Chains A and B, each alone.
Chain A
Amino acid sequence: MTVKKAWERTRAVRRGIGWAALSAFLGLVVVAPLAILFIQSFQTGAPGSPASYGLAGWRQAFSDPQIFRAVWNTVRLTLARQLIAIPIAILVAWLIARTDLPAKKFFEFCFWLSFFLPALSVTLGWILLLDRDYGLVNQWLVSLLSLRQGPFNIHSFWGIVWIHLATYNISAAVILLTPAFRNMDASLEEASRMCGANRGETLTGVIIPSMAPSILVVLLMAVIRSLEAFEIEWVLGAPYGLHVYATKIYELARATEPPAFGPATALASLILLALLPLIGLQRRYVGRHQFTTMTGQFRVKPTRLGAWRLPAFTGMVLLAIVLTVIPSGSLVAGSLMAKFGFISIPDPWTVKNWNDVFGDPFFARSLRNTLIIAGSAGGLAIPIFSLIAYAIARGPNGVAGLLDFMAWLPWAVPGVLMGMGFLWFTLGIPLFSPLYGTIGILVVSSLFGTLPLGTQIVKSNLLNLGRELEEASRMSGGNQIRTFQYVLLPLLSPVLLVVGILTFVTAARDVSNAILLATPRTRPLSLLALDFLSESRYEGAAVVSCVIVLMTTCLALIARGIGKRFEVRA
C-alpha cells in the first residue's frame, strides 16, 4: 500500500522526467543537425582547406541580385498554389468523408495514387501534353481551331502552378484532411441544419471552423513545403529565368563546385525566420479555441447531397482524370517508350526498359533495401510520432510549445541541405555514429524527414478528440497505456495508417539523404532511379518509379484492410 502511495505521489516527478527526456531527445536529434548547419553558414574556407569563420557566406548569399526576385516568385507561386489547392482539398475531403457521394472510396484511392506518383515523371508527362511547341494538346488545338500557336505554355508561371496542383498540392491536402473530417461528430452538422443553415453554410460556418487545427496544420505544411519546392521549378522555370528561393539554395549546395554550403545555409535561414511566426500564430490560434469534434456521443451520418450529387460526382471524375489517370498513364507509357515523349518514331514502344531495370544486378538488392528502410520507417513512425504528438497535444503548455516547435524544425531547412547536416550530425554524435554505414541510419533519416508531417497530423487529430474519452477510461481504472491502446488507438487508427504510409512513400522516394548516407550495400531503389536520371534515361527511371508506386499502392491497400478492423463504427 505504501509503495503504491509513494508511486502515486511521485507521478508528477516521473511525468516531469518523462517530458524532460522527450524534450532532450528531440532537441538532440532535431536541433543538433540544424545547429551544425547554422555554424557551417559562417564557415568561409573552401572544402579541403582549414576551417575559418566569418560573414562572407551571408554576404554572398544576399548579394545575389536575383535573390529578391526569387523570393518574390516563391511568394506568388505559394499564394497561387495554396489559394487554389486548399479550398479544393477541403471541399473534396468533405465530399469523401461527410457526404453520400457515389464511389467515394474509389476517389479517395485516386488521391492516394496521385500522391504516390513521382513529381518528375508527372512533370514530363505534362510537358508532353502542354509544351508550347510540341505538346500534344497544343498541337491538337492548333489544328482544330486554326491557331497560330498553342494556347498553353507549361514553361511558365501558371505551368508551374498547374504541375504543383496536379502532383502533390491537392492530393496531399486531401489525404491529410480526410481522416480529420471523418472523425467529426454528425451532431454538429445536424445542429447547424436544425438552425436553418443549408449545406454550404454548414460547411463554411460549422465544419471548416471546427476543422481549423487540421486545416491550419495542412496549410502550414503546404506553405513550408512550397518554400522548399524546387524540382518542378528547376525543370520548368530555371531555363527561362524563373527562379525560386529553393532553386537558389539548390544552386549553391548542389550545382556549385565545390558546394557553397555556407551561403546556402545562410539563405536557408530565411525559411526558419518565416517558420517561427507561422508556428507561433498557429499555436496561438489553436490554443485560444476549443476544437473537439469527437466526443463520447460520436455518430457518423453522411450528409445527403441531393441535387448536387451528380455535379459533385462529375467534378470528382474530372479531378481524378487530371490528378491520377493522366499522370499514371504517362508514367506507365513513359516506362514503355523507346524515348520518353517521342511517339512518332518508327518503334515507339518497347519493354526493353523493364528488362534493363529487372536485369540490373543492383535491382534486387536495392528493392530489398527499400522495403527494409521504408517498411521500418513506416512502422516506427506510428508509435514515435504518436508519442510526440500526444505530448504536444496533452502535455503541459510550456513543454508542449517547445516540442511543437522542435517537431517542425526538420522542415526548417530544405532537404538538399538537411542531408548534409544529418551526415555531419551522425558522424559527430557518438550515440548515432555506430549507425553510420548501416541501413539503420537511412531509417533514422527518413523518420527525421517526416517528423513534422507525422506529428502535426496526429496532433491536429488529437485536438479534435474530447478529453472526456480518456478521462472516462482512467476513471474506469485504465492506465495511460491501456487508454491509448483501447480508446485513442481505434479513434486515431485511420490517421496513424496515413502517417505510416506517407512515411513509407517518403522514405522509398528519398534521394537527398540516401546519396549522402547510403553505402553500396545499403543503397535503395531511389538511387537506382537517380542512376537512370543522371544519364537522362527517363524511361528507366519511370520503370523504377512504377515499381515504387506499385509497392506503395499494395501497402496502402493492405493498410486499409488493417485499418478497417480498427475503425470506429457508430
Chain B
Amino acid sequence: MMGRQRIPALVFGLITAAFLSFSLVYAAEVKPAAQAEWEQTVAKAKAEGVVTLAGPPGTAYRRGLVDEFQKDYPGIQVEYLGGFPVELEPRILAERRASRFLWDAYVHGPPSPVFTLKPEGALEPILSALILPEVKDEKKWIRGFKPGQGVADKSPPFVSFIFDATASSIFHVNRALVKKEELNSPQDLVKPGLKGKVVMDDPRREGPGVNALAILTANYGRDFVRRFLAEQEVVFTRDRRQIAEWIVRGRYPVAIAVGSQELTEFQNLGIGKEVERFVGSWPKVSSFSPGFGAVAMFTKAPHPNAARLYVNWLLSPRGQQAWVTAMKTRNSRRVDVTPGDPAMTIDEKSSYMVFQSEEGWPVRRDMEALAKEVYKEPYSR
C-alpha cells in the first residue's frame, strides 16, 4: 500500500527534477548568450569610444546622465547637449534630412518624439535594444513595458521607454494664508474664496500645467476645469521658479504644477516651510508623470554599440540610481531603486493614466485648447 501511495509522489518528484534540470540547462545556455552579446557590445562600444547624447537642459540632468556612466566606462566619452524638445527635435530632423546622423540616444520628455521623430523613421525600436537581464525583466519595472505607461507609444514599434515615474500632485498651498477649511481637496479649487489667489504653469502650451488640467478633467470632468479657469482669475506663468517663489512668498498662496525641485530648494533653505503639497486619493484615476525620464535610440546612429551600452546602463539599477540621486525629487519606475521622493511613488495596484503618452496626448491638447478658449482676453494691470 505504501509503495502504491508513493508512486504519484515519485512521479511528481521525477517531473519536477526533469523540469528543474531543463530550466537549469536552458538558463545556462541563455545566460552566456546574453552575457556574450553584452560583452561584444561593450567591446564594440569601447572601440567606438564616444556616445552622443541629446537630453534635457540643466546641470542636474547632465550630471545624472553623464557623470556616473563616465565613472563606469571611462573609455567611452559621453558628448552631451542639453535643450528643450522644441529646440532639439526640429534641429535633429533638419540634420537627418540633410543626411547628417549625429546623435546616438535621446533622453526626453515623452511623447513628443513619438510624433516628430518616429514618423521620420529616426528612432529604433527600444525594447529589442535591451540586453542586460535585469533591464529586460519586465518584473523589475512597475507597470512593466505596458504601452502608454512603460513605453510612451500606443502601438509598436515602441521607441520611447519611460523610466521615470513620479506620481503627479496637482496643487500646493501656503497654509499660512489658506487654511484647510478653504482648500483640502482638488474639488475646492473652484471655491469663490480662492479667486485671484491661484498661480499655475501656463496651460496654453505644453507643460506641467496642461498635465494638471488633464488629471482634473479625468477626475472631475471638463466643465469643472472650465469653471476653474473661467472663475478663479488664475495667473499663468511659464517660469517655474516664479511659481515656486510666489507661493513661498505668499503672493499667490495656491499654485498648480509647482516644480518640486524648485520648491524643495526653497524649503531646504528654510523658506516656505508652510507650503504643503496635496497628496490625496483621486476619485477616478491617478496619474504619474515621467517628466524628462524617457529614452530613445536613433536609427543610423554614429555609434550604435555605444548607444546600446548607454541605454542598458541607464536602465540598469545603477543608471537609475544615478538619475534619481541627481534629480533628488524624482522616482524611478524600477522596483529596486530607492525613490527620490518616497511620498510620490506609484504602485502596481492603483489605476493610472499617463498623460505624457501617445494615448494621453489628445487629452493634453484638449486642455490646451480649453485654456486658450477660456483665457482669450486676460485682465491686465
Contacts and interface: CB of A to CB of B under 8 A. Distances in A.
A515 B90 CA distance: 11
A527 B87 CA distance: 13
B376 A47 contact: no
A342 B377 contact: no
Contacts of B270: 345-346
Interface in B46-91: 52, 56-62, 79-87, 89-91
A543 B378 CA distance: 36
B259 to A, nearest CB: 7
Q: Which of B239, B261, B381 is most buried by chain A, counting CB atoms within 10 A of its CB?
A: B381
Q: Which of A261, A360, A427, A436 is most buried by chain B, counting CB atoms within 10 A of its CB?
A: A427
B338 interface: no
B265 A339 contact: yes
B119 A48 contact: yes
Interface string B150-185: 000000000000000000000000000000000000
Given A133-B249, A153-B381, A257 B87 contact: no
Interface stretch (B110-118, B131-139, B310-318): B110-118
Contacts of A238: 202, 236-238
A483 interface: no
A258 B112 contact: yes
A255 B116 CA distance: 16
A251 interface: yes
B271 A345 contact: yes
Interface stretch (A484-492, A500-508, A529-537): A529-537
Interface of A is mostly: loop
Contact of B242 (A239, A339, A535): A239
B376 A259 contact: no
A532 B94 contact: no
A48 B118 contact: yes
B102 A437 contact: yes
B87 A516 contact: yes
A156 B93 contact: no
Contacts of A515: 83, 87
B262 A240 contact: no
Given A515-B83, A531-B57, A531-B62, A520 B381 contact: no
Interface in B228-265: 235-242, 244-245, 249, 251, 259, 261-262, 265
B265 A240 contact: no
B271 A538 contact: no
B299 to A, nearest CB: 14
Nearest to B111: A257
Given A240-B380, A534-B57, A518 B62 contact: no
B235 A254 contact: no
A124 to B, nearest CB: 10
A540 interface: yes
B306 to A, nearest CB: 14
B57 A258 contact: no
A536 B241 contact: yes
B95 A339 contact: no
A151 to B, nearest CB: 14
A538 B82 CA distance: 17
A521 B79 contact: yes
B112 A531 contact: no
A234 interface: yes
Contact of A241 (B206, B244, B266, B378): B378
Contacts of B300: none
Contacts of A253: 86
A134 B118 CA distance: 48
Contacts of A133: 249, 251
A205 interface: no
Contact of B81 (A47, A259, A519): A519
A341 B90 contact: no
Contacts of A134: 249, 251
Given A239-B235, A240-B235, A427-B100, A258 B86 contact: yes
Nearest to A339: B269
A150 to B, nearest CB: 13
A279 interface: no
B26 interface: no
A256 B376 CA distance: 17
Interface residues of B, number: 65
A64 to B, nearest CB: 9
Contacts of A48: 93, 115-120
A239 B90 contact: no
A204 interface: no
A235 B239 contact: yes
A315 B111 CA distance: 56
A523 interface: yes
A427 B235 contact: no
B307 to A, nearest CB: 15
A518 B82 CA distance: 10
A203 to B, nearest CB: 38
Q: Which of A69, A235, A255, A360 is most buried by chain B, counting CB atoms within 10 A of its CB?
A: A255
Given A134-B249, A238-B238, A342-B269, A255 B102 contact: no
A46 interface: yes
Contacts of A516: 87, 91
Contact of B90 (A155, A259, A428): A259
Nearest to A346: B270
Contacts of B84: 254, 534
Nearest to A356: B59
Given A47-B116, A423-B91, A437-B102, A257 B86 contact: yes
Contacts of A65: 376-377
Given A339-B271, A341-B245, A520-B80, A47 B89 contact: yes
A520 B81 contact: yes
Given A47-B93, A48-B93, A258-B112, A535 B269 contact: no
A540 B57 CA distance: 14
Contacts of B376: 65-66
Contacts of B202: 238, 255
B98 interface: yes
Nearest to A523: B81
Contact of A255 (B94, B112, B205, B381): B205
A536 B85 contact: no
A414 B2 CA distance: 93
B353 to A, nearest CB: 19
Q: Which of B87, B117, B261 is most buried by chain A, counting CB atoms within 10 A of its CB?
A: B87
B112 A433 contact: no
Contacts of A447: none
Interface in B90-132: 90-91, 93-95, 97-98, 100, 102, 112, 115-120
Nearest to A424: B94
B75 to A, nearest CB: 17
Contacts of B61: 535
Given A47-B116, A238-B238, A241-B379, A255 B86 contact: yes
Nearest to A436: B100
Contacts of B205: 251, 255-257
A341 B245 CA distance: 10
Interface in B262-279: 262, 265-266, 269-271
Interface in B302-344: none
Nearest to B98: A427
Interface string A425-441: 00110000100110000
Contact of B240 (A66, A356, A536): A536
B380 A427 contact: no
Nearest to B54: A520
B115 A46 contact: yes
A420 interface: yes
Contact of B237 (A239, A521, A523, A534): A239
7 contacts: A47-B93, A65-B376, A156-B381, A255-B202, A427-B94, A515-B87, A536-B261
Given A238-B238, A342-B271, A437-B102, 19 more contacts: A46-B115, A48-B118, A238-B202, A241-B380, A257-B112, A258-B90, A258-B112, A258-B116, A356-B59, A420-B90, A423-B94, A433-B98, A518-B81, A521-B79, A523-B81, A531-B58, A531-B62, A537-B59, A538-B241
